[in-house]
Structure 1
Amino acid sequence: MKFFYVLNGKSLKQFILVGVAAFFTAWFLYLENYVNVPAFSGKDGPKAVYKGEKDLAVSFNIGWGDEKAEPILDILKSKNVKSATFFLSGSWAERHPHIVDRIVKEGYEIGMLGYNYEDYTELEENKIVKDISRAQEAFRKLGIKDIKLLRAPTGHFDQKTLKVADRFGLTVIHWSIDSKDWTNPGVEIIQENAAKATKGDIILLHASDSAKQTAAALPSIIDDINKKGLKLVSVSEMIANATSSSKEIK
């Protein structure tokens, strides 16, 4: 026995509408997962952002020294760079309030690099809490009360770090492009490493005295970014109003 299913005009119209709706739903979900802020995280816990969806963020770590930070600020000013993020250790900020004040006055974002330069993965939870609390107090005394970003001092973090940071209302920020300027490999190599940056990347640079070649490499790095037509934004601007996808971190 043969069976036939006959579609009348009304049924056919409903079928087409359902198909079109399904297509656009799938397309929307694809875009939602494609346009996001990639992050390291636990399965269901807080996340550490390392990349954005568009534009480009240049970030500088400072934990030691008083000779390299201001020349780098001079270069940013001369190159008309309006947005950059400086991750400062609390102990360094206490010793150099005039440089911290200049960073703020020139409109750059400040993130926290803990207080002491310690590997958070090697610390017990209560010691991480103490380090972050001490850093917050140091910045508070300098009149900076709205820091929302934390970078693990050595760059190493785990779920414990993410959970502690989350309790403080802080987002852990990593990076997607390491210039390796901290190894002093030569100005050209630093430039080549930074030149790998594309849309959405967060570049790691240093303004500590141990990074002796960063200032010399920086002008060309900025020129390359401008040639690519990428807009420089702060890390907070990059991650604002964006969803997150994650890679699990143990």
Structure 2
Amino acid sequence: MGPGFYVFRFSRKIRFLTILSMALMVALLLWFGKSDVLSVFSKQDPSVLAKGDKKKPNISLTFNISWGEEKVYDILEQLEKNQVKATFFLSGEWAERHPEIVEKIIKGKHEIGMLGYRYKSYLEQDIDQVQRDLLRAKEAFEKMGLKDVTLLRTPNGHFNEDIVKLAQKLGFSVIQWNINPNDWKNPGSQEIIDFTMKNTSNGDILLFHASDSAKQTAGALQTILPGLKNKGFQFVHISELMTQAHAKTKLVE
């Protein structure tokens, strides 16, 4: 009976600590979603933009594209119809394969950022591999005449302090987000609409996808774009949001 009793007490303690740790993680995530100031970096460390100035009604609509060539056209049509300018983050590999779509994005006066070259998590690669991927992406965009692409969103949004330092050393500004309706999961157009309309506030960076996996995004934008405008929000490029931003962002681990 004695040993069994102590095993039970030890297991119960482990369960309690596990639950407590999970609760703290959830609290941090909720705080991050509502706050524009949360960072594990010190003032001397590199920062990552995930939200702009909460005192101004400017927001940035961003799209990731790493594969496919169909859904992006419907999204561009909705942006043009509603006179909204967005920032598109493209993988270098995808951009090389679809220069005509890249040109159409540029003609729509949207901003271009990059997702690296191959869409593979940087946390699954050593730092030298990450550097090679970034340089290859930079070269790919330069060959297309895009020599000033300095906005970087890491694949899957995965990064650590070393990756951010490397990116900044190479001249990139790392961009995250704080509003994510997970449109690529296709939860239903109404769910995408409801989440975005309920949670968007001043200075937010909205993450959407224009790859072919995002089958409901264009339909949801028909309601979201005029709806957010009616709420008084103004859509601006990430570069413009950056000039107004006073916040540091958290490091995603």
TM-score by length of 2: 0.81
Write the distance in 2 (CA, Å) between the matches of 1:223 and 1:198: 15
Q: For residue 109 of structure 1, what is the aligned residue in structure 2?
A: 111
Q: For residue 6 of structure 1, what is the aligned residue in structure 2?
A: none
Any idea what SS the aligned residue of 2:76 has? helix
Q: For residue 189 of structure 1, what is the aligned residue in structure 2?
A: 191
Equivalent position to 1:213, from 212, 216, 223: 216
Q: Give ranges in structure 1 of 5+ residues lacking alignment.
A: 1-35
User: What amino acid sits opposite 1:80 in the alignment?
Assistant: Q
| Equivalence map 1:165-180=2 (5 Å) | 165-180=167-182
CA offsets, 1:50-105, max 9 Å, x none? 00003111000000000011111111111111x21000000000000001011111
Q: For residue 77 of structure 1, what is the aligned residue in structure 2?
A: 80
State the aligned residue count.
214
Q: For residue 146 of structure 2, what is the aligned residue in structure 1?
A: 144
Q: For residue 237 of structure 1, what is the aligned residue in structure 2?
A: 240
| Residues 1:63 and 1:228: Cα distance change in structure 2 (over 3 Å) | same
Q: Give ranges in structure 2 of 5+ residues lacking alignment.
A: 1-34
Any idea what SS the aligned residue of 2:224 has? helix
| Equivalence map 1:27-106=2 (5 Å) | 38=37, 40=39, 42-43=41-42, 44-53=44-53, 54=56, 55-81=58-84, 83-106=85-108
Write the distance in 1 (CA, Å) between the matches of 2:183 and 2:251: 28
- Displacement of 1:39: 6.3
Write the distance in 1 (CA, Å) between the matches of 2:226 and 2:188: 18
User: What amino acid sits opposite 2:162 in the alignment?
Assistant: K
- Displacement of 1:227: 1.2
- Asked whether the equivalents of residues 39 and 48 of structure 1 are also in contact (C-alpha less than 8 Å), the reply is no
Any idea what SS the aligned residue of 1:46 has? coil
- Displacement of 1:40: 4.3
Tell whether 2:226 aligns with 1:227.
Answer: no
- Asked whether the equivalents of residues 69 and 207 of structure 1 are also in contact (C-alpha less than 8 Å), the reply is yes
Percent identity reads 45
TM-score by length of 1: 0.81
Write the distance in 1 (CA, Å) between the matches of 2:222 and 2:247: 32
Any idea what SS the aligned residue of 1:177 has? coil
- Asked whether the equivalents of residues 42 and 249 of structure 1 are also in contact (C-alpha less than 8 Å), the reply is no
Larger strand share, 1 or 2: 1
C-alpha RMSD of matched pairs (Å): 1.6
- Displacement of 1:243: 3.2
Deviating above 3 A after TM superposition, structure 1's stretches of 4 or more consecutive aligned residues are 36-41, 241-250
Any idea what SS the aligned residue of 1:87 has? strand
- Displacement of 1:244: 3.4
| Residues 1:101 and 1:40: Cα distance change in structure 2 (over 3 Å) | farther
Any idea what SS the aligned residue of 1:48 has? coil
Write the distance in 2 (CA, Å) between the matches of 1:169 and 1:46: 12
| Residues 1:228 and 1:90: Cα distance change in structure 2 (over 3 Å) | same
Write the distance in 2 (CA, Å) between the matches of 1:37 and 1:147: 25
User: What amino acid sits opposite 1:56 in the alignment?
Assistant: I
| Equivalence map 1:146-161=2 (5 Å) | 146-161=148-163
CA offsets, 1:201-246, max 9 Å, x none? 0000000001111011111110211111111001110111543334
Write the distance in 1 (CA, Å) between the matches of 2:249 and 2:158: 17
Write the distance in 2 (CA, Å) between the matches of 1:39 and 1:243: 12
Any idea what SS the aligned residue of 1:145 has? coil
Write the distance in 1 (CA, Å) between the matches of 2:248 and 2:143: 36
- Asked whether the equivalents of residues 121 and 156 of structure 2 are also in contact (C-alpha less than 8 Å), the reply is yes
